[in-house]
Amino acid sequence: MKNLIKIIIFYCSLCIPITMEAQSIITSKHNLSASGPGTIKASSETEVCIFCHTPHNARTTGPLWNKKDPGAIYTLYNSSTLNAILGQPDGTSMMCLSCHDGTIALGSVYSKPTPISFGGITTLPSGNTNLGTNLADDHPISFVYNATLTAANGQLKNPAAITQPVSLDINGKMQCTSCHDAHDNTNANFLVASTQCSALCYSCHDKNYWGNSSHSTSYKTWNGSGTNPWFHTPYTTVADNACESCHEPHSAGGPVRLLNYQHEEDNCLNCHNGNVAAKNIQTQLTKTYKHNVYAFTGVHDEKESAVMGTTHVECVDCHNPHAVNNSTASAPNVNGFLNGVLGVDINGSPVNPAQYEYQVCFRCHSDNLAILPYTQRYRGVGNMRLNFATTNVSYHPVEAAGQNPTVSSLIAPMTTSSKVYCSDCHGSDGAGAPAGPHGSNNIAILKYAYDTTRFPMLGTNWNATDLSMRWPLCFQCHNVSNVTTIHTNISGGHFMKYTGCNTCHDPHGYDGSLGTNGGNISSAFQYLLNFDTTVIRPNLVNGKMIDIPNRKCYFVCHQNPSGTGGVYHEHLSTGSSF
């Protein structure tokens, strides 16, 4: 306002500047006179202030305002996280829009009977400076910014904490002039403060976690390959661009939450493609098995429940870009890459934020049964929350240490007290690949191969080498020689010639619901036993999966074609637990 008063005073002296404050508009693009430095300027008009102000017969809606009212109806910004009550633009914002919405001529002023000529130009040309009447892709304006709003939002500063040069108007509203000073282009784009490290944004916004996030502290730069991730800023590092690495306050490609790009993943992959971030996530997402973020656009919502209601996956379902950091953790605790995201606990209840990695996975891989398992199991319905439950007969130790106190095949330092992450098995394959289940050429986004072939036919001379080649995933934790010895004792290794780990063992867990067909003791299902029913089926005579007294199970390859019975096939070695 100080600058504006001085400008108006100078107008009466034929706009001859005598202070540094007034000097700035003379050398800026807002000097639309014939002597202006920009490419858009009047053909012959020499007065500088006339394009906005007049000392006589001015409009009453602004400070000696000379510009005609656009009179347009605007489409307003909207999103599920918007707590402000928006109406049509008003106040000082209308002064800006009288040029920047492109609806009326630049030279249409009250003090002239005909518009000031701009040669062949009537309005601002298409581009970021011509916002049009669709303001849905622009930062909201003309709303009351008060304590009620900040309490509802939770990540905005109280109005009392907003200090100069950012300001609200006389009615306590956020306007264009809160961020822009039309008379001073010191900070470029006529901003009232620098946007370096998002200093201007943080005059009002106070995002949770941001101060300790990698995106606020990283000084990585673009290597020059592909598309410049910071196409609308002058800054060259992640930290310096800060909010604007992902957000654009005007004419945003993704209007909801003003993202640079409409496709959510593009706002991440413009850096996480190996051109800024060290690890190339984009490459992982081209693999056969992946969390296919490309398959969904506009489905994810910032306010959605932790318990996923609509099937989709986006980067931000697992990563909070305002919270991620490089801190490490031990299973099952979340590490910094999963910091500040939603989760679902072992009871199926939402948690915010998730404390354990499996809680993040349970968002989609528990009660959302649209995600089907790869193997048709005797028990279990693909609900990982139930399969990993600590009340089960057996489970991989994701939530807690396992049930079985004697797992002789474990490789040190693994013990029966150890816990593991979901991502210890599910993750990008290949040496040096980024951590996490982004994409893999192995089934189910597994870090190592895991053969799910019904009858892999290892042959008569199968050995530890055969096993380790077909199921290297298992042998990251289990000793292959030990496993070979154990299974050689089962019918002399006969059935191991024709089947493998996946046939008998559920890699997640068994939900414990034995049923009448499971046998009569729970110990029958220790060791993650949960059969692939396309290979092992109930006996056609008595309906049982296992004949416990005789230590037998029933393979389809031995089933009587007449359907009147089945052929016993010995399953476990002498001395095992059931």
Helix, strand or coil, per DSSP, at residue 333: strand
pLDDT for res 558: 61
Q: Using CB atoms within 10 A of its CB, is residue 51 exposed (0-12), middle (13-18) or buried (19+)? A: buried
Closest CA to 227 of 272, 193, 175: 272
Both structure tokens of 567 = 């052929």
pLDDT of residue 470: 83
CB burial of 193-217 (b: ≥16 within 10 Å; e: otherwise) equals bebbbbebbbbbebbebbeebbbbe
Give CA–CA dist 480/348, Å, rounded: 36
Extract the tokens encoding 417. Answer: 């007290």
pTM of the model: 0.88
H or E segment to which residue 395 belongs: strand 394-395
pLDDT of residue 554: 72
Instruction: Give the DSSP H or E segment for 546.
Output: strand 546-547
DSSP 286-315: TSSEE--GGG-SS---TT--SS--S----H
Q: Render 46-84 in DSSP notation, one character per residue.
A: --SGGGTB-SSS-BTTSTTB-BPP----PBPP--TT--S
Phi-psi region of 111 (alpha: psi -120 to 50; beta: other; left: phi over 0): alpha
Per-residue pLDDT of the chain (578 residues; tens, 9 = 90+): 444 434 433 333 334 333 444 447 999 999 999 999 999 999 999 999 999 999 988 887 778 999 888 889 999 999 999 999 999 999 999 999 999 999 999 999 999 999 999 998 999 999 889 999 999 999 999 999 999 999 999 999 999 999 999 999 999 999 999 999 999 999 999 999 999 999 999 999 999 999 999 999 999 999 999 999 999 999 999 999 999 999 999 999 999 999 999 999 999 999 999 999 999 999 999 999 999 999 999 999 999 999 988 889 999 999 999 999 999 999 999 999 999 999 999 999 999 999 999 999 999 998 876 677 788 887 766 789 988 998 888 899 999 998 888 888 999 999 999 999 999 999 999 999 999 999 999 999 999 999 888 777 666 667 778 778 888 999 999 998 888 887 776 665 666 677 788 888 888 987 655 443 333 334 556 788 888 888 887 766 666 666 656 666 777 766 554 444 444 444 443 333 32
Rg of the chain over Cα atoms, rounded to whole angstroms, equals 33
Q: Within 10 A of 263 (CB to CB), how many other CB atoms are there?
A: 16
What per-residue confidence (pLDDT) applies to 71?
A: 86
- Hunting for tokens 């092992």 — which residue is that? 536
Q: Please give, one letter per residue, the 3-state secondary structure of 116-168.
A: CCCCCCCCCCCECCECCCECCCCCCCCEECCHHHHHHHCCECCHHHCCCCCCC
Taking Cα atoms as reference points, which of 515, 547, 514 lies closest to residue 529? 514
If phi over 0 gives left and psi between -120 and 50 gives alpha, with beta otherwise, what is residue 400?
Answer: beta
Q: Is 360 helix (H, G, I), strand (E, B) or coil?
A: helix
Q: Find the helix or strand (DSSP H, E) in which 343 lies.
A: strand 343-344
